[in-house]
Structure 1
Amino acid sequence: MDPVQAQLADAVDAALDRTTDVHAELAAIGVPELGLPERLGGFGLGLGADIVVNHRLGRNLQPLPAHRETVFALELLPDWAVPEAVVEQVLKGSAHATTIGVHTTPTLRADDEGRVWGDSEHLPAGDLALAVLRAVAPGGDTRWYRASLREHTSVARESELLGVAGQRVHFTGTPATPVEVDDGRWRTALDAARTRQAAVLLGLAERALDTARSHVNKRVQFGKPLVQLQTVAHRLARLVGEGDGWWLLLHQAAWRHDSGADRAADAAQVLATATEHALRSTRLALQLHGVRGMLAHSTAATAYRLASVEATRMGKVGRLWREAGAAHLAAAQAAPGLGE
C-alpha cells in the first residue's frame, strides 16, 4: 500500500475499535465519501481507497455489507435519480441504500402504475432510505426502478443468514420511479462492486490465517507445537503465499478500473479467486482449532460464518469463473491474427 492507503487503513481500524455507531465513526473519517464519485459529493479516490477500507472491514470481522451496497446502488443511478437528501444521510452514516433483485432473480413485481409488490431477498442490516431494484413489470419484462423505503408501504423485517443479521423488506404497493440503467453504467458499477467484495473476502481470509498461525504455534500435541507438523505448516504457508498474490491481483484490478484500463474479465476473476481463497482459509482455520474453533464466539467460527455469507452475496463462484473465462476467450478471439 502507498502511504495514503496505509493511513486510511489505520484510520478504519481505529474507527472500528470504538463502541459507538460504526457507520457514524466511518463517516467521521470520510467513508464512503473518499471513494464516491465527485458527482455524488465524494472525493473520487476510487477503488484504490475502497479496497483498503473494505479489506480492513473484513480483517476486523465487521464486513458491513450495507456500506458496499450503498455505494453500488448510488453508482447505478443516473445523476437525476440520486436524491440529495439520501446522499447527505449516506455521508453522515445515518442511512443506507440497497439493491434488490440485482444479485438474484427478481422476486418483486410492478403494476401499471409503477407500484411495487412482494418480498425482497435477504438484505444487509441497517436503516435503509433508498432501493434500486429490478422488478417484473406487466408483460413479463424486467425493469429498473428507484423506490424510497421511508414509505409506510415498505416494511423491513429482521432476518438471519447463517447467524448473520439482516433484513427483508415487504412491499405493498410502494411507489417506484422507473430508471434507465444502460449497459455501460451497469458494467462499471458491477465491476467496482465485485472488486470491493473481493477486498472484504481477502480481509476475512487474512484474519483467519493469522488466527490459525497463532494457534498452531501455541497448541502443543505429541510434545511439540502443531506448526512443526508438515501437514499443518505446509498448508498454512501455501494459503498465506496465495493470499499475498491475490492481494496484488486485487490492487492491479482496482488500479486498472480507476485508470480506465480495466478488462472485461478483471472483476469477475478477482472476486472468484478471493471467494475460493476465503473459503479455503476460513475452513482450514476452523479445522486447525478443533473443538475450540466450533465455539460460536471464536474468531475461527466467526470468520468462517462471515466468509460463507459474503461468498454468495454477489453470485456463485462457478458463474463468476464462467463469466471470466468467456471474457478471456472473447478477448483472445478479437486479437489480431487469431481469427485468420
Structure 2
Amino acid sequence: MRLQSDDVQHDLVRAVRAGLGLVAGPGGRLDPAEVHACLADLDLFALELPDAAGGLAFGMACAVPVCEELGRWAAPDSYRAGALLADLIQSPEQDSRGHGPSALAGLLPLLAAGRTTAGLAAGTGVVATSAADGWELNGDCALPDSPAEAAFHVVPARRTDGTALAAVAVDAPGLTCTATRRDGVRRLSLKGVTPHTLSAPLHDADDVPSPLLVRARIRQAAYLLGLAAGAHRLAVGRAAGRRQFGRSIGENQAVAFPLAEQFAHLEAVRLLVHEAGWDSEGGRPAAVGATQSLAYAAEIALRVTAHAVHVHGAVGITTDSAVHRHYRVAAVEATRWGAPTSLWREAGALRLR
C-alpha cells in the first residue's frame, strides 16, 4: 500500500476543492443542487463505474479522496448515494423472487453523466415484507440532504433474514416526504411501496458484510474523516485567531493539547480508510478494514466536531457558523451504517474468524 497519495488523487482533491469553492455561499454553506452540478461537471459520478456504462473505472482508491474532500466542506453529498445505487444495480445477487438489480441496468449511463440522482436514507424503521408481486416496504426513515431532483431513494429495509437495500422511485405510490424540525433532514414514509429492486441481505449467514456494504462503509468512513478534518481545521484557525487576556486561546493547554491529539487520530484514521479503499480496489479482503475504519472515523468525527464547537464558544452554536454545520452533519452521518460500538464489535468478530 502507498502511504502517500498519487498524482491522480491529488488532482481529484484539488478539482473538487476548487469547484466547491466557486459555489460556496457565506460561511461555506452549499446548496445540494449546486454541489451535484459541480460533481457532474467534473465527471465524478463516472469515477467508479466501468467503461461499458460510460464510466472512468478509476476504482475505490480514487473515490476515497473525493468523499473525504466533500466531508471537509460538510457538503450535501449526492456522490455516495449515486455510487451506492450504481453498486446496487451492478450487484450480481438477486432477491428470492428474482426482482434483481438488473432491472435498473439502463440507469448506469445516466448515473455516470449525473443526469440521474438519488437520495440516501438512514435509519432502521423500514420493513420489507414478501408480497404477491415481489416485496412491499412499510415504515419511516430519515432522508438527510437529498437532492431536490433525485429520481430514486436508496432505503435500508429490514427483512426476516437481515437488512437489505431497496431502490425506490421518488414518485412511487405510497411514498411521502415531509419536512422535519432538523435543517436539511426530511422524513421518508413508505406505505405499501413496491421497490424497483431489493438487494440480498447486507450480511451473510456468517455475519460477514457483503461487498455492497463494504464499499458503502469505505465511502462513509472517508466522508466522516473529511468532516472531522474540516472541523479540526476550523478549530485550529479559531484557536490561533481568537485572543483573550493578551494571547491566543491556542496557547492554553486545555485547547492546544486536545487539538494535537486529534490530529494524530485523524492521521491514523486516514491510513485505515485509504488502506481499506486500496484493498477493496485490488480485490483483497476489505471487510475488516472497512468496518474498523468506519468505527474509528465515526468516533473521531463526533469527538472532533464537538470539541471544535467548544473551541468556538458561543459562535459555534449559531446556525450560521461553519463549525456548527460540521457538528450537525456528523451527528446524522456517524451512525448511518451502525453505531461505533456495534461496528467495533463486528470488526473484532471478523478478526477472530
**Does the alignment reach a TM-score above 0.5?**
yes
Normalising by the smaller structure, the TM-score range is 0.7 to 0.9
Whole-Å Cα distance in 1 between the matches of residues 162 and 7 of structure 2? 45
Question: How far 1:15 sits from its partner (Å)?
Answer: 2.4
Q: Which residue does 1:328 correspond to in 2?
A: 351
What is the aligned counterpart of 1:254 among 277, 287, 294?
A: 277
- Is 2:21 the partner of 1:17? yes
Query: In 2, distance between residues paired with 1:107 and 1:178?
Result: 12
Q: Displacement of 1:85 after TM fit? A: 4.2
Which amino acid counterpart does residue 299 of structure 2 have in structure 1?
A: E
User: Residue 141 of structure 2 aligns with which residue?
Assistant: 121
Match of 2:173 in 1: 153
How far is 1:223 from its partner? 2.3
Verify: 1:83 aligned to 2:83, yes or no: no
| CA pair 315-142 structure 1, distance change in 2 beyond 3 A | closer
Q: Give the conservation status (yes or no) of the 8 Å contact 2:126–2:139.
A: no
Using the alignment, how far apart are the partners of 1:195 and 1:2 within structure 2? 19
Aligned to 2:41: 28
Aligned to 1:21, the other structure's residue is in SS state helix
Give the 3 Å change call, closer, same or farther, for CA 280–183 of structure 1 in structure 2: closer
| Aligned counterpart for 1:73 among listed residues 74, 85, 96 | 85
1:206-285 equivalence runs, <5 A: 206-285=229-308
Contact in 2 for aligned 1:115/1:176 (Cα 8 Å): no
Matched, 1:61 2:83: no
Counterpart CA distance in 2 for 1:149 and 1:15 is 29
Q: Displacement, 1:114? A: 2.5
Tell whether 2:304 aligns with 1:291: no
| Residue 47 (str. 1) matches residue 31 (str. 2) | no
- Asked whether the 8 Å contact 1:220–1:226 carries over to 2, the reply is yes
Q: Against the structure 1 CA distance between its residues 207 and 177, is the aligned structure 2 distance closer, same or farther, given a 3 Å change threshold?
A: closer
Deviations 1:110-132 (A, max 9, x none): 42223625234113412343456
Select 1:93's aligned residue among 86, 98, 114: 114
Aligned twin of 2:124: 104
- The letter of the residue matching 1:6 is H
**Secondary structure of 2:352's match?**
helix
Counterpart residue number, 1:8: 12
Q: Distance in 2 between the 1:216 and 1:285 partners?
A: 9
After TM superposition, give the deviation of residue 179 of structure 1 in Å.
Answer: 6.0
Give aligned-pair identity as a percent: 31
| Residue pair 1:116, 1:176 contacting (<8 A) in 2 also | no
- Normalised to the residue count of structure 1, the TM-score between the two structures is 0.84
Correspondence 1:190 to 2:213: yes
Q: Which structure 1 residue ranges, 5 or more long, are not aligned?
A: 331-340
Q: Aligned partners of 2:278 and 2:64: how far apart in 1?
A: 10
CA distance change for structure 1 residues 85 and 261 in 2, over 3 Å: closer, same or farther? closer
Distance in 1 (alpha carbons) for counterparts of 2:297 and 2:55: 27
Give the Cα separation in 2 of the matches to 1:121 and 1:4: 37
Query: Structure 2 residue aligned with 1:170, among 190, 201, 219?
Result: 190
RMSD over equivalenced CA pairs, Å = 2.9
| CA deviation map 1:170-196 (0-9, x unaligned) | 344536556657968961111111011
